[in-house]
């Protein structure tokens, strides 16, 4: 991911799902199935593709959390954006945590 320019922090909102996220996930599943030659009519294929998208999205959070912290965001603010508690956010994403998520995003570039 490319670093973004420093901008004024905005108040985070908790995550929510709706028609917009449904459409995006459905399109991403279709595109991933096309790239991998899978058929989404097969439930296990669809589950595998969806799990791949979830894994990749999860790999992006540690880097974004670190960037948010660098920009002055508190763990409470990051937790709100993640829909979790500040303690859980810090436990999973703080560079000082012994159990932090250390996965790197998969970037073909």
SS3 94: coil
Cα distances (angstroms) measured from residue 13 to each of 17, 37, 78, 84: 12, 37, 10, 12
96 phi and psi angles, rounded to 5 deg? -90, -10
CB neighbours of residue 62 within 10 Å:
19
Q: So what's the pLDDT on residue 11? A: 76
Q: What is the dihedral of CA 55, 57, 62, 68, to 10 degrees?
A: -170
Alpha-carbon distance of 81 to 52, in angstroms, equals 22
Full pLDDT tens readout for the chain, 109 residues: 555 555 566 678 888 899 999 999 999 999 999 999 988 899 999 999 999 999 999 999 999 999 999 999 999 999 999 999 999 999 999 999 999 988 888 765 5
Alpha-carbon distance of 43 to 57, in angstroms, equals 21
């Amino acid at each position: 991911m490319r670093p973004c320019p420093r901008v004024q922090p905005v108040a985070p909102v908790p995550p929510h799902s709706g028609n917009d996220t449904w459409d995006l996930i459905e399109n991403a599943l279709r595109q991933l199935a096309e790239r991998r030659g899978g058929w989404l009519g097969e439930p296990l294929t669809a589950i595998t593709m969806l799990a791949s998208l979830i894994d990749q999205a999860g790999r992006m959070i540690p880097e974004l959390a670190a960037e948010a912290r660098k920009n002055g965001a508190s763990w409470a603010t990051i937790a709100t954006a993640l829909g979790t508690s500040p303690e859980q956010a810090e436990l999973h994403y703080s560079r000082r945590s012994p159990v932090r998520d250390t996965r790197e995003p998969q970037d073909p570039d």
